[in-house]
Structure formats: C-alpha cells, structure tokens
C-alpha cells in the first residue's frame, strides 16, 4: 500500500449508521493503494478468479460467542500472522497495520468478531516497495480451502473459502463486498489490493476479496 493511503473494511450495521459507514467504505474501496514489489494479481470485474463454482462445500457451523481475534492461519499460503484491532481514521477508513509490520493483519474492531454472526473483515497489505505483504498470495486461494482464526477464548474458528473476487474501483459496491452473503451465518472477508497498478497514481485498479464462512471450531463447540 502507498505510504499515504489507509486500507479499510466494514461491518454489518442497521439504518443510518450502516448507510454512513458504507459511504466511508466506498471511499476506501476507491482510494486504497499499494506500492508493488512485483507483478499485480489477476484482474477482473466483480468476477470469480478462476474458481470452480460448482464445488461442494460443507454446511455452515452455528455462530460462536464473541472473542477477540489474535492470529490468522492460511495453510494454502503458508501464512501465519498476528491480528490486531483497528478503527477508522480521520479520513473515514480503517487504519491498516504500519508498513514496518507488513505481515500483520488488521481486523475492523467495530465490526463482528471472527466466528460471530455477520461478516468479520480482515485487511492486509499486498506488498510494499520493499517486500511482499501478508496477503501477497491471496488471489491463489481456491474455493473449499480453509482459513483459521485463533481467538482470545482459546478457540480456533475454521472457515471455508466460498469464492474469490476482484472488484474494480470504479464499480466498487461496499454493501456487496462487506455485507453478509447469507443471513445468520458467521462469515469472513479477507481484503487486499488487486488489478493493474497505475504508477502515476500509485494506485491499484481493484480490490481482491476472499469470502469465507464458519464451518468448524477447535475445540468443537
């Protein structure tokens, strides 16, 4: 991400508060930028990134009681990262992890906790001008692969990837990106930059969004 732009995320709210936050999130979706170390991820426009839509998925697990997230594990990417809570900054976007911690993930702390009802949002750097970020390989995830979030109560919430999509900035839909896919489920969004990189603007053209939902816990509860 660029040195002067924040990343951001959203939560499920109701009424005027939900509408106001969507405006801030829409602005974030248009403005989030990165400084690429190498090539950008696959491009697309609100489209699945080569995922088999018909693959069978496990049934959802019932939502869990609240507990703060502490760590994120993505076995297919060999990712193990600390998770820290972030709120909105003065620009109305979620404050991302600092650039000296590119392998840390930011959870939007005013939204649902991972494993609870609604769509919890985790954002991370794609890359910096020095090294890949924690979500550099996010576009390689496939439908049916797993994501785990370690929680402060000692449990691990296990999620299954439902789809991977790229949303272009000029057609960014905050409600579609951040809102829950199915009422009553515990869902997860992993978000970073995607698309093509514009060196003049120091900005990527899109956002890469992984959507997953709770399918198990350790211990089983």
Summarised one tens digit per residue, pLDDT across range 37-58 is 333 344 444 445 545 556 689 9
CB-based contacts of 83-89 (< 8 A; 24+ apart in sequence): 83/107, 83/122, 83/149, 85/109, 88/8, 88/24, 89/6
Continuous segment of H or E residues that includes residue 177: helix 174-178
Identify the CA nearest to 82 among candidates 138, 128, 124, 32.
Answer: 124
Instruction: Give the pLDDT of residue 80.
Output: 97
Instruction: Give the pLDDT of residue 34.
Output: 40
Q: CA 164, CA 51: separation in Å to the nearest integer?
A: 7
Instruction: Give the pLDDT of residue 205.
Output: 66
Continuous segment of H or E residues that includes residue 158: strand 156-168
For residues 179-201, give the mean pLDDT: 85
For residues 83-99, give the mean pLDDT: 78
3-state secondary structure of 179: coil
* Cβ atoms of residues 32 and 204 within 8 Å: yes
Q: Per-residue DSSP letters for 86-153?
A: E-B-TTSSBPPPPTT-TT-EEEETTSPPTTSSEEEEEE--SB-SSSB-TTTTGGG--TT-EEEEEETT
Both tokens assigned to 170: 């000029």
Instruction: Give the pLDDT of residue 203.
Output: 65
Confidence of residue 33 (pLDDT cuts 50, 70, 90): very low
* Cβ atoms of residues 210 and 189 within 8 Å: yes
* Cβ atoms of residues 13 and 23 within 8 Å: no
Comparing 117-121, 156-160, 169-173, the range with the smallest average pLDDT is 169-173
Comparing 110-114, 132-136, 157-161, 205-209, the range with the smallest average pLDDT is 205-209
Give the predicted TM-score (pTM) of the model.
0.78
* Cβ atoms of residues 172 and 193 within 8 Å: no
Instruction: Give the pLDDT of residue 42.
Output: 42
User: Whole-number mean pLDDT of the chain?
Assistant: 77
For residues 178-193, give the mean pLDDT: 92
Topology of domain 15-218 in CATH is: Sortase; Chain: A; (2.40.260)
């Amino acid at each position: 991400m660029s040195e002067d732009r924040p990343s951001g995320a959203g939560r499920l709210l109701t009424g005027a508060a939900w509408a106001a936050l969507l405006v801030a999130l829409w602005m974030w979706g248009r403005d989030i930028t990165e400084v690429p170390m190498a090539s950008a991820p696959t491009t697309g426009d609100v489209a699945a990134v080569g995922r088999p839509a018909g693959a069978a998925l496990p049934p959802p697990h019932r939502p869990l009681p609240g507990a703060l997230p502490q760590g994120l594990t993505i076995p297919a990417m060999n990712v193990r990262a600390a998770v820290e809570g972030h709120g909105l900054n003065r620009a109305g976007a979620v404050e991302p992890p600092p650039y000296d911690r590119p392998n840390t993930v930011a959870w939007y702390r005013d939204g649902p906790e991972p494993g609870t009802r609604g769509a919890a949002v985790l954002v991370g750097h794609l890359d910096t001008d020095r090294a890949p970020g924690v979500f550099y390989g996010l576009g390689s995830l496939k439908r049916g692969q797993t994501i785990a979030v370690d929680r402060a109560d000692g449990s691990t919430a296990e999620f299954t990837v439902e789809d991977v999509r790229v949303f272009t900035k000029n057609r960014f839909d905050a409600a579609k990106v951040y809102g829950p896919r199915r009422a009553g489920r515990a869902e997860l969004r992993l978000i970073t930059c995607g698309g093509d990189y514009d060196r003049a603007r120091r900005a990527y053209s899109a956002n890469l969004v992984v959507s997953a939902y709770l399918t198990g816990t350790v211990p089983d509860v």
